[in-house]
């Protein structure tokens, strides 16, 4: 079984308890890792470290401006510790996922989804980015969105992309 070593930092008000975020994130990301492993994704024998930062729009806006040149908040940012292509084995540190609470809440409301369901999708999305998946081209988007949809289905959630063209 694929093991993850989650390091969690809650850096803003309004998030569920840290214990709740640990339990939720572990369940979601371990399901995603198990699915990837079943699809042939190699993992090291030791647990892979993933850092999760639960923050707010103000902080993620600053990070987004610094690292992506976009001076606006976003829902999730992923920073691989080492760049890998899909299927390549990660090192002992996979990378960081940063999520902004206000954007997640706003998008969940707009999408008529629960906060937890949308957060689940964004955790899976950010996790796949750490494995080298992207959505810059239609082919990449179709592959990544297909993985997200299948992982979310295992978690009991519907296809978040139903009725949409790939990003």
pLDDT in tens, 87-141: 999 999 999 999 999 999 999 999 999 999 999 999 999 999 999 999 988 899 8
> According to the model, what pLDDT value does residue 165 have?
58
> According to the model, what pLDDT value does residue 166 have?
52
pTM above 0.85, yes or no: yes
45 CB-near residues (< 8 Å, 6+ apart): none
> According to the model, what pLDDT value does residue 23 have?
96
Task: Using pLDDT thresholds of 50, 70 and 90, give the confidence band for residue 161.
Answer: confident
The CATH class, in words, for 4-154 is: alpha beta
Q: Where are the chain's structural domains?
A: 4-154
Tell me: pLDDT of 167 over 60.
no
User: How many Cα neighbours within 13 Å face the side chain of 114?
Assistant: 5
41 CB-near residues (< 8 Å, 6+ apart): 33, 86, 87, 131
> According to the model, what pLDDT value does residue 41 have?
94
Three-class secondary structure assignment of 54-94? EECHHHHHHHHHHHHCCCCCCCEEEEECCCCCCCCCCCCEE
């Amino acid at each position: 079984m694929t093991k993850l070593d989650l390091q969690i930092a809650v850096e803003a008000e309004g998030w569920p308890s840290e214990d709740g975020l640990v339990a939720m994130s572990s369940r979601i990301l371990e399901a995603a890792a198990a699915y990837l492993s079943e699809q042939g994704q190699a993992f090291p024998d030791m647990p892979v470290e993933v850092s999760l930062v639960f923050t707010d729009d103000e902080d993620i806006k600053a990070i987004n401006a610094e690292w992506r040149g976009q001076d606006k908040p976003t829902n999730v940012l992923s920073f691989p510790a080492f760049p890998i292509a899909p299927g390549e084995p990660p090192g002992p540190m996979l990378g960081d996922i940063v999520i902004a609470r206000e954007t997640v809440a706003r998008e969940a409301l707009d999408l008529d989804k629960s906060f937890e369901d949308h957060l689940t999708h964004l955790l899976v999305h950010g996790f796949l980015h750490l494995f080298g998946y992207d959505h810059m081209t239609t082919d990449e988007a179709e592959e990544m969105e297909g993985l997200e949809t299948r992982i979310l289905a295992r978690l009991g959630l519907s296809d978040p992309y139903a009725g949409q063209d790939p990003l």
